[in-house]
A and B are shown apart, each in its own frame.
Chain A
Amino acid sequence: MTGVVGRSVESITGALRTVFTAEQVASADGLLQRRDPRVAVCSVAGLALAVMITRTIAVTLCFGAVTVILARLSAVPLRRLLARSLAVPLVSAVIVLPQVVVLPGDTLVRAFGLSVTVDGVAYVVLFTLRVGVGVALLSLIVMTTPFSAVVAAMRELHVPVALVWVIAVTYRYLFLFFDELQRLVLARNSRTTGRSSLRGGWRDAKRLVGTFLLRTLDRGERVGRAMQARGGARPPSPYSRSRTVDRGDYALVALAVIAVVGSGVVRWGL
């Protein structure tokens, strides 16, 4: 598969696969990397919760700034954090976009017989920002802590096994998803000559999607068996990487508690 579509699929899958590994970031010496995994999971989840509570753009932006500061102190390149976190808020924005004309309020712009309202725009911006900051915070934890340590921390924190299971399997299958897609694109490119038109590229892409779904299903089954062969039918139980909690850990927990309480106060009052 050549052409714009093929090249796009190839570059996007390659980039995403690289972005999702983050192995260098996880092994770097940074603020979050030095934290006990249980503390890191709880604190970052707390910050994400605070973001979800808030209904104010200014407060959400403050949390965005906190996320950027945490990323900088944890040696996480901002471009990589953005690349990892951007897709979800963009999709969310598309989903809630109709709200700009659906929500009543003062008219900002009139176009094609529709009124774009101030309240509608504010809602879409706030929603997208909240999702973006929340996803960026969760990405931070996965980028700065080995994934098995995150899973082990969730087990130690008595997060329901079913939830841990879903998170662990989903995360692992994300790798396989991109890996399978990239293999498929490479295999097709190696047997395709010449430049195809945009239309031809889309036609190829449609065929690719069908094959891809079948292949991911098959690969999923095989990987499931390989997990089962090594005890994967039992609840996820990676080795704990917990250590003695220190002042830095307490400080991070305090930050998360203040964020949650502060968000609540701003939203609901005292």
Chain B
Amino acid sequence: MGPVIEARGLTHAYPDGTTAIQDVTVSIDEGERVAVIGANGSGKSTLQLALGGLVEPTAGTVRYFDETTDAEAVRDRLGVLLQDPDDYLFNTTVREDLEYGPAQLGMSREAATQRVAHVAAELGLDALLDRPPFRLSGGEKQRAAVASVLAFEPDVLLLDEPFGAVDAHYRDRILKLVTDHEGTVVLFTPSLDVVADVADRVIVVGPDGSIAADGSVRDVLTDSTLLQANGLRPPATVTLFEGILDADDVPLTVSDARAYLLDELG
């Protein structure tokens, strides 16, 4: 399986001179589950925009599906969820917002209707479809924004903090939709507790916007020194079992920790 996204020497500086990301070279293969982690302000969101073809990098290139550097040519295959759900909700009703992507990207109306109904049901939006988006709560907006990206069934999901404002119930629902996604998933998050549930590879963005580490979930999440050097804190389960178990045995998720404890307690 070839790379679906391949970035080389990617650098982006904003007009005020702030360099958000620098010299990022990264390749993401088809079907991979990748978490991009980093402290606030490290450049994760800018990296997501650059990988999604939504900002013009100051230097470097991004190649998609090993065939083009033009993101617009493959827009229907890239599902980019930006950080603020309000940015996605600009139509008069939630239904129109959910149909916006499928309509713009050429999905048939029948397929779009089915798909919108499916994601709306999965994310508890059925009753909200005919409401104006600005009347939704923060969590509802987040769910609607996630649904608006999943609605056009992209091959690659580039999600920036999709669990931001949602409650535990819908966090699990979004998590399930993301893990069930058959294509590639790239999750950008400062919260390490969900990383092991979603990803099998982790990229750490350092405070200077460069790639500080790129490795397996276990290697990265159990390396407290690396995480702390980059303004991050290991997941709660790692903190709990660090020094008690070997790094190879430390549970990375709450369910793994629970299973371990139940096993140990007989």
- A interface residues (Cβ-Cβ under 8 A, vs B): 17, 21-23, 26-27, 146-148, 172-173, 175-176, 179, 219, 222-223, 225-234, 236-240
A236 to B54, CA, bound (A): 18
A223 to B97, CA, bound (A): 12
A31 to B85, CA, bound (A): 36
- Enumerate chain B residues within 8 angstroms of A22, measured Cβ to Cβ: 92
The contact of A23 among B54, B130, B149, by CB within 8 Å, is B130
Contact call B134/A17, Cβ cutoff below 8 A: yes
Q: Mark B236-247, 1 if CB is under 8 A from A, else 0.
A: 000000000000
Contact call A21/B92, Cβ cutoff below 8 A: yes
- Enumerate chain A residues within 8 angstroms of B54, measured Cβ to Cβ: 225, 228-229
Contact call B76/A27, Cβ cutoff below 8 A: no
- Enumerate chain B residues within 8 angstroms of A236, measured Cβ to Cβ: 104
The contact of A229 among B80, B84, B92, B134, by CB within 8 Å, is B80
Contact call A147/B92, Cβ cutoff below 8 A: yes
- Enumerate chain A residues within 8 angstroms of B149, measured Cβ to Cβ: 229-230
Contact call A230/B105, Cβ cutoff below 8 A: yes
- Enumerate chain A residues within 8 angstroms of B255, measured Cβ to Cβ: none
CB distance from B138 to the nearest CB of A (A): 12
Contacts A231-B76, A239-B112; is A175 near B134 (CB within 8 Å)?
A: yes
Contact call A234/B134, Cβ cutoff below 8 A: no
Known: A229-B80, A239-B99. 9 other contacts (CB 8 A): A21-B92, A179-B86, A227-B100, A229-B78, A229-B82, A229-B149, A230-B152, A232-B104, A239-B103
Name the residue of chain A whose CB is nearest to the CB of B145.
A226
Contact call A226/B91, Cβ cutoff below 8 A: no
Q: Say yes or no for B257: interface residue by CB 8 A criterion.
A: no
- Enumerate chain A residues within 8 angstroms of B131, measured Cβ to Cβ: 23
Contact call A222/B82, Cβ cutoff below 8 A: yes
Name the residue of chain A whose CB is nearest to the CB of B92.
A147
- B interface residues (Cβ-Cβ under 8 A, vs A): 49, 52, 54-55, 72, 75-76, 78-82, 84, 86-88, 90-93, 96, 99-101, 103-106, 109, 112, 130-132, 134, 148-149, 152
Contact call B112/A172, Cβ cutoff below 8 A: no
Contact call A230/B93, Cβ cutoff below 8 A: no
Contact call B104/A231, Cβ cutoff below 8 A: yes
Contact call A223/B87, Cβ cutoff below 8 A: yes
| 10 closest A-B pairs by CB | A231-B104, A230-B101, A229-B80, A226-B87, A231-B105, A222-B87, A172-B90, A21-B132, A225-B54, A239-B109
Contact call B99/A225, Cβ cutoff below 8 A: no
CB distance from B12 to the nearest CB of A (A): 13
- Enumerate chain B residues within 8 angstroms of A17, measured Cβ to Cβ: 134
Most chain A C-beta atoms within 10 Å of own C-beta, residue among B75, B84, B112: B75
Name the residue of chain B whose CB is nearest to the CB of A180.
B86
- Enumerate chain B residues within 8 angstroms of A172, measured Cβ to Cβ: 90-91
Q: Could you name 20 residue pairs across A and B whose Cβ atoms are closer than 8 Å?
A: A23-B92, A147-B91, A147-B96, A172-B91, A173-B90, A175-B90, A176-B90, A222-B87, A223-B90, A226-B87, A227-B100, A228-B75, A229-B52, A230-B75, A231-B104, A232-B104, A236-B104, A238-B100, A239-B109, A239-B112
